[in-house]
């Protein structure tokens, strides 16, 4: 789908806004959409990942002579 194939996201119904007014409106709308998105969950710390190979019994092997 090309950009010319779809309906516009914003339509001016009455009046002729200046480019500065349009920029202010779009900036305000974008700021609102950023706030409404939920924050990503924090990444797990490396020590808490038990699926990482070699992390489960490494402390046992550290006491053995080299």
Q: What is the pLDDT of residue 29?
A: 87
Domain count, the chain: 1
Q: Is residue 20 part of a domain?
A: yes
17-55 pLDDT, tens digit per residue, is 999 999 999 999 888 876 656 777 777 777 666 665 655
Within a domain: residue 54?
A: no
Is 1 inside a domain boundary? no
Quick check: is 24 in a domain? Answer: yes
State which residues form the domain around 22. 11-35
Place of tokens 């007014």: 21
- Per the CB < 8 A criterion, the answer to whether 50 and 56 are in contact is yes
pTM, to two decimals: 0.41
Q: 């779009």: which residue's tokens? A: 26
Domain assignment present for residue 31? The answer is yes
Q: Distance between CA atoms of 22 and 16, rounded to whole angstroms?
A: 10
């Amino acid at each position: 789908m090309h950009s010319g194939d779809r309906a516009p996201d914003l339509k001016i119904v009455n009046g002729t806004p200046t480019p500065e007014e349009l920029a202010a409106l779009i900036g305000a709308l974008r700021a609102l959409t950023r706030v409404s998105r939920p924050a990503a969950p924090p990444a797990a710390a490396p020590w808490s990942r038990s699926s990482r190979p070699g992390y489960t019994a490494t402390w046992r092997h550290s006491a053995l002579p080299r």
